[in-house]
Structure 1
Amino acid sequence: MRLPGLLCLAVLAASSFSEVQEEEITPDVSIAYKVLEVFPKGRRVLITCHALQVPPPITYSLCGTKNIKVAKKVVKTHKPASFSLNITLKSSPDLLTYFCRAASTSGAHVDSARLQMYWELWSKPVSELRANFALWDRGSGPRVEVSCQVSSGSPPITYSLVGKDGQVHLQQRPRPGEPANFSFLPSQTSDWFQCQAENNISVQHSALTLVPPGRDQKMQDCQGLWSAPSLPCCPTGAPTI
């Protein structure tokens, strides 16, 4: 009496096993590159495509933005296909994005992940970090406002407000070309702070700046009592420059 149920379970199990098997043999195409030669405004790179699970002969196509075919090569073995390209710095990262397409004789094809070579090839360290500290008092007590920005450097750039002891108090990652702006209440005692700018190439720090005490001190005590570089006060509500 239970045979139909058992048969149904057997069919389901076979179907599930078949799906698992299909997932396991899904072809995978790898893409990698290395720089062969460096020019002032360009690079010669070698892009390698490899599909181990696609039966040869394999037609490899190197495609760029909007699926435009850049180059094609037929490989009769399971060896990878390599493409040598001379590329120049573009205004848009999308123009330096490539992927590999591997096609079998049956016409079926599979694509690799996208390879973006923009920041990897033209990464620049952060440089000329500028930090502006200002103390405001609009009637409710003094408040420190800090602006940090580098003149050049490849994004993403992370800005941090760091104490003299190395502790990170605040952190921002603004859009490329925009400064990081921090605002905080001064403590009961004077403290040293500096800006830090960091990308995947380098780290740069501004000079340490002395921030005067807060509410328990008179604003005029801020002026002339700390060694340079120190933060002047603005009792009138206008920011210091």
Structure 2
Amino acid sequence: MLLRLLLLICAPLCEPIELLLIASPSQPTEGSPVTLTCRTQPHPQSSDDGPQFRFFRDERVLRLGWSRSRELQIAAVRREDSGFYRCEAKTTAPKVLRSRIFQLDVRRVPISDVSLETQPPGGQVTEGGKLVFICSVAKGTGNITFIWYKGALGLNLGKKTQHSLTAEFELPEVRKSDAEQYYCAADNGYGFMPSGLVSITVRIPVSRPVLTITAPGAQAAVGDVVELHCEAPRGSPPILYQFYHEDVTLGSSSAPSGGGASFNFSLTAEHSGNYSCEADNGLGAQRSEEVTLNFTVPVEERRGHLSSGVIEGLLGTLAPSTVALLFCYWLKRKIGRRSASDPPRTPPRPVPREFTYLNSPAPVQLPPTYENVNAVSGDEIYSLVYSNQQEQASAAVVPLETHIESKDPLDIYSRLRKANVTDEDYEDAM
């Protein structure tokens, strides 16, 4: 009976003290706070000289020295904080209590919402330019591994691991073969999560176009419908073509799906010369070489152009001379009409001439002298006839008939019909 009473009194004093380490929360995730608490069971009686504590992770002291705080707080736990923890307590008695080992497993936030973007945006890049792929995740902790893939078969382009929610992969010089579908994937220990597909379009600047001219026949002629066809061997659609004649715009045509374009027109005389075309798809315009078009102008039209040109030249250069000639002609006609209307004038009497006689029994007959008189009457023309004899002869004005009226050999008369006299003969007679 007495022994039982002693056991009841000594039980609380004789019970061994146990040290426990507790984590809250017990399974934390990266980025969340964690509190480690070192507890004793049963609780020791409070005293001014209480126990002191210290904490270990993988047998490394986390605090320097002892501390009266029984808690260890981690504001934002990381994956690297995972490990084996324990604590120690030192009481007034020269005895150190050790807790059991506690395994802390810090969980990472799984990857979610993986996406792929491009720079330049929209997935359109010019051939020869730079293309950047940006892979990002909305959630995920710890080091994240990013991988980029090309095409449906998933050709691995590159891989990066870094403590970041985004990563970049760059193609320094894009080629036409890089026009494909791309995606990326991210993993932080829970398996790779893929992004959606992104299509890349490689735009190709236009090359120098080629201009061809097509006519209905072997040689173009005025009135024919001529076709100008311009085509750039390379270039992403849509392509706009401009057509030129001697650097003057004739018109334009577009090729929404690529290839070439045509422009038709009817030939006129002014369409001879050099032709060219220009191609542009927004990445830089290119001009073709010039093509010379020679064609046949109809004879009638050529004569018309020539006549008009000659007339214009004559009017421009010979107008003053023409006016002067017309004025002279008019004045001459006027004088001629005035002379014809005047009455016949009396023929002047000839001045007596002196004749020389030679020492000879017979007188010398000098040749007669003829002189036309400016007298016109009807159809008759009068002339003076001078005959030199030994004695002074008188001159008479008589009509000249077509036959000899007088028997005197000194007087010769002749009548000329105006119908048989030309203008030239009349002028010579004047």
Tell me the TM-score normalized by structure 1. Answer: 0.49
Structure with bigger RCO (C-alpha 8 Å, 6+ apart): 1
TM-score (normalised: structure 2)? 0.31
Max radius of gyration: which structure? 2
